[in-house]
Amino acid sequence: MRVLLLSDIHSNLEALDACLAAAPAYDVVFNLGDIVGYGASPNEVIERSRRLGKFFVRGNHDKAVCGLVDIADFNPVAALASQWTHDQLTSDNLEWLRSLPQGPVQIEGLTDVQFVHGSPVNEDEYVVTVGDAVEPLMAAPAVVTFFGHTHLQGSFMLNGDHINSLHPAYRTVGQIESSEFPLKKNLPYLVNPGSVGQPRDGDWRAGFALYDSDTRIVEFYRVPYNLKSAQDRILAADLPQRLATRLAAGR
């Protein structure tokens, strides 16, 4: 089975469309959450996401926008964007967002793989460092966990008492590129396909990945998109300017 992995789209329609145009052939799409928040095209991104299939986990921004959690924990920029998004969404899209499942979620036929937004231990937890990865790697019943939330493309692998972390290396800053990452058999992995709509690893290009369960290869992708259009929409919507400028910096 070939699984297209999309995460943290954050209402960035231009980035999502660029990823879909660049994506290789796939059987199913798994969306790892934070479909909305920050960007200026929430309804369009939800509608595209709904058409792509049925596999989702909810993200913290998805929960905040539909009132499942208090936005008091959000920083002022995120809280403002969350409120704005709530006001923009159609009632149908808001209802759909509210119905998204909490991770971990599995796909029938992929027994050793699970999907979460933050960590398998806690859907809202950030797995950024090797230290953060210890508990989820030890606790995960599945061999491979796909996660998002940090907006950082890469993986952690537990081998004996060592954890190896990897971030794919790319050669350019503005072209479509991919990086192949074969998974070793029977070792636990946490794999983040990167953020479609708001990367934070210093690379502005949209990130996603494809997992082939037959070959056990993850292919990481980075794809340039119409940044100016995404930024203009944010500014035209009167969302905080910082949400537009950070897209260019990939932070």
Residues that bind Zn ion (CB under 5 A): 8, 34
Q: Residue 14 or residue 62: which is nearer to Zn ion going by CB? A: 62
Relative to beta strand 154-159, strand 55-56 is: unpaired
- Cα–Cα distance list, 98 to 81, 164, 189, 196, 244 (Å): 17, 36, 29, 21, 27
203 within 8 A of 196, measured Cβ to Cβ:
no
Minimum CB separation from Zn ion for residue 217, in Å?
26
Q: Residue 8 or residue 219: which is nearer to Zn ion going by CB? A: 8
Minimum CB separation from Zn ion for residue 150, in Å?
8
Using CA atoms, how far apart are residues 251 and 248, in angstroms rounded to an integer?
8
Minimum CB separation from Zn ion for residue 116, in Å?
13
Residue 48, both tokens: 């595209």
Residue 251, both tokens: 């932070």
Q: Residue 11 or residue 231: which is nearer to Zn ion going by CB? A: 11
Q: Residue 17 or residue 34: which is nearer to Zn ion going by CB? A: 34
Which single residue brings its beta carbon nearest to Zn ion?
34
142 within 8 A of 96, measured Cβ to Cβ:
no
Minimum CB separation from Zn ion for residue 11, in Å?
11
Q: Residue 58 or residue 233: which is nearer to Zn ion going by CB? A: 58
Minimum CB separation from Zn ion for residue 10, in Å?
6
153 within 8 A of 201, measured Cβ to Cβ:
yes
Give ∠ CA 2-43-77 in degrees, rounded to 5: 100
Minimum CB separation from Zn ion for residue 247, in Å?
13
- Cα–Cα distance list, 105 to 1, 119, 128, 182 (Å): 16, 12, 21, 23
195 within 8 A of 10, measured Cβ to Cβ:
yes
Relative to beta strand 154-159, strand 162-166 is: antiparallel
Using CA atoms, how far apart are residues 48 and 44, in angstroms rounded to an integer?
6
Q: Residue 8 or residue 177: which is nearer to Zn ion going by CB? A: 8
